[in-house]
Chain A
Amino acid sequence: MEGWDPNTKSTLTQIPLLATKAGPRDGAAWTQRLKEEYKALIAYTQMNKSNDNDWFRISAANPEGTRWTGKCWYVYNLLKYEFDLQFDIPVTYPSTAPELELPQLDGKTQKMYRGGKICLTVHFKPLWAKNCPRFGIAHALCLGLAPWLAAEVPILVDSGMIKHKDDATTSTES
């Protein structure tokens, strides 16, 4: 965890760790894992709200809890940029991390695999592997997606690749 900012570190320590090593094909153990995922997500979302650092919404898109959809946003130069967020829980979860997708940014940045899967190889995958099975969805968002947004959104905005939704509408009006 060297090289991580103290803010992320202290947030991370407050997200509850998970205990059950189970994937979507593991029946009752997966239900138990899913409960732990929810608890960690609830705690993390609450913590973000109380710290005035709310930055995502995520909920299960199917009853089995294998597909998740939501939104995430990042504030840059006092403007809020919001993106759709989606991912599947892989069959080999939690040995492998979920591949977080921002489909609207597909093709707009090189730090991304096809289909809008953000590149997590260097900054996140080793951490996930080291902390299996204690890390869950909440940890993936905190250590995978948040730093990716912080690094990529400013570049995307400055290079003109993405526009703020207000700018986009004013430019079409004028």
Chain B
Amino acid sequence: MEVELKQLNADLQFLSQSLPDPSHHALLCKIQLRVEELGKLAAAAPVRRSKVEDMSAEVVDSNPYSRLMALQRMGIVENYERIRDFSVAIVGIGGVGSVAAEMLTRCGIGRLLLYDYDKVELANMNRLFFRPDQVGLTKTDAAVQTLSDINPDVVLESYTLNITTVTGFETFMSSLTKKSFCPNKEGSGVDLVLSCVDNYEARMAVNQACNELSQTWMESGVSEDAVSGHIQLLIPGETACFACAPPLVVASGVDERTLKREGVCAASLPTTMGVVAGLLVQNTLKLLLGFGQVSPYLVRDGDVFFILLPELLQMGYNSLKDFFPTMQMKPNPQCSNVACLKRQEEYMLAKPARDAAAKAKMEAEVLSTEEVPLHDDNEWNISVVDDVELDGPDTRSSDVLPEGLTHELPSADEFHEATPDAPVADNDDLEDLRRQLEAINSA
């Protein structure tokens, strides 16, 4: 732009000198002034920052990562730069997903995979991230537009599809398993899947894919009345999957009838969406970068060492009472999802190895701490007793819920498959049945 304007100015200069008729000089001067004006405007236009090769901790105004790298200096994160090796898939780029994507982009995540099939509408403007000038664009395209401007270092992949349809699901699965970004990593092609969708069907599709791929994922949601939400960590085989128990919702604690308006399917607030997105990404960072409170019973090996807060497993948020109910759920041994049962079996088989690793770690810790009595005499035999239960984590069975959580859907009634007359009807022909229906339809 700048070069072209300079060229234009030079041409004008040449023209004004070579023109024999001086009466046009005034006009040429005017044009030259305008070109100069345009040059100034072009210089003021936003410029995209260039890519950054290495994250630097140098504290200068021009370093986009100085405040993030400071987490190392503060002793919160051991190696922040590791964030560039991680891939996160975000399913659903709506009120929660788009904000989560922006947060991870600003944190300098290595790669983001974005999935949505919707378009941006004016009705979305009560939430964060999308702008009115993006109305009509697909949410994935609009997100890539904004995110690549904010941080060009992040590798963005967008998938405009519905993951609940058969073809959409296949593309979803293959995109999660593609290992081009970090070929040396174990597991699937992504480190974490974030489900930010707004319906049960899509959640079940994410659950299915993650169970089949043994992929750790986090579920998030905001209630239809916009005043409560939840996040949940799901590790196939280790924690309850989404099909193990009917989905939980945070009881609002306020009479439901005063909240549910006739005729409106869903309300939304930028505040609740922002809180849930914040909780989700905070826990994503804790999980990926391994910081936060050390919990002895949720340590996972592999190339990434996960240390989790026990509360991280399921957290609700009730904005009307500023209340965060939390719970853990064990997987359901009678889960209806076949892939979930397979993962549960694998997890059980790996138990001896896991116990041995935990024991070795404990012994190493005991050795490193010298046993010196705190006080030389203890005249009254005073001892400090841990108030944590000794018999392990307080894991509840999925049908006992803590205060503030209720089931959204009932579980399926007892179903006996062993009805003897059911499989006998197998000799019908599908094509024949199809023709029968057509015949009735056209009759």
Contacts and interface: CB of A to CB of B under 8 A. Distances in A.
Interface stretch (B77-85, B228-236, B342-350, B414-422): B414-422
B287 to A, nearest CB: 25
Specify the main secondary structure of chain B where it touches its partner.
loop
Given A35-B430, A88-B165, A125-B200, A130 B437 contact: no
A38 B440 contact: no
A25 B166 contact: yes
A95 B415 contact: no
Contacts of A21: 336
Interface residues of B, number: 43
B201 A126 contact: no
Given A19-B417, A90-B201, A42 B166 contact: no
Interface stretch (B47-55, B302-310, B384-392, B404-412): B404-412
B107 to A, nearest CB: 31
10 contacts: A19-B419, A24-B166, A64-B166, A88-B164, A92-B204, A95-B204, A110-B263, A126-B409, A129-B411, A133-B412
Contacts of A19: 417, 419, 422-423
A39 B427 CA distance: 13
Interface in A88-146: 88-92, 95-97, 99, 110-114, 119, 121, 125-126, 129-134
B437 A91 contact: no
Closest 10 CB pairs of A and B: A38-B433, A92-B204, A129-B409, A91-B169, A90-B164, A19-B422, A96-B201, A132-B412, A130-B410, A110-B263
B430 A92 contact: no
B413 A131 contact: yes
Interface of B: 118, 163-166, 169, 199-201, 204-205, 207-208, 224, 243, 246, 263-265, 336-337, 409-413, 415, 417, 419, 422-423, 425-426, 428, 430, 433-434, 436-438, 440-441, 443
Contacts of A45: 437, 440-441
Interface residues of A, number: 46
A110 B434 CA distance: 35
A24 B167 CA distance: 11
Contacts of B205: 90-92
A6 B221 CA distance: 37
Contact of A129 (B410, B436, B438): B410
Given A59-B441, A131-B413, A95 B430 contact: no
Nearest to B212: A25
A126 B411 CA distance: 9
B243 A95 contact: yes
Given A113-B265, A129-B410, A49 B440 contact: yes
Contacts of B199: 113
